[in-house]
Structure 1
Amino acid sequence: MINNEAFNLSLEQKFQLQCLQQEYQELDREQTVNYLLETMQQIMVRDNLIRDLMKNSLLP
């Protein structure tokens, strides 16, 4: 069972998010779109890795 706390950000993560927000406040539209696309690609790769690890761990 998944703990609801797993969906909350830690204090450190909140701080990192705030730092990123300040850093990216200065980006223009093109830079923002590029950053978003790079981030989405990294998330997709991470999801694929997790899926693969889970699939392999379930095999006998």
Structure 2
Amino acid sequence: MTALVRRKLEVAVNARYVLPVVLATNTLLLFAYDSLLGIPSWIKVAATLFLQF
């Protein structure tokens, strides 16, 4: 394997784990924000409708 191919493979493998970590972090932060300050119901409805598409 050339160095370039090896480097691209390493980047692809590492990038595979980035999105789930970001999504989990955002979810935990949203739950914490909701429990501390409360998220208005219209934002929850808008997010639910957006995620249905």
Task: Give the TM-score of the pair, scaled to structure 1.
Answer: 0.44
Task: Give the TM-score of the pair, scaled to structure 2.
Answer: 0.48
Q: Higher relative contact order at CA 8 Å, sep ≥6: structure 1 or structure 2?
A: 1
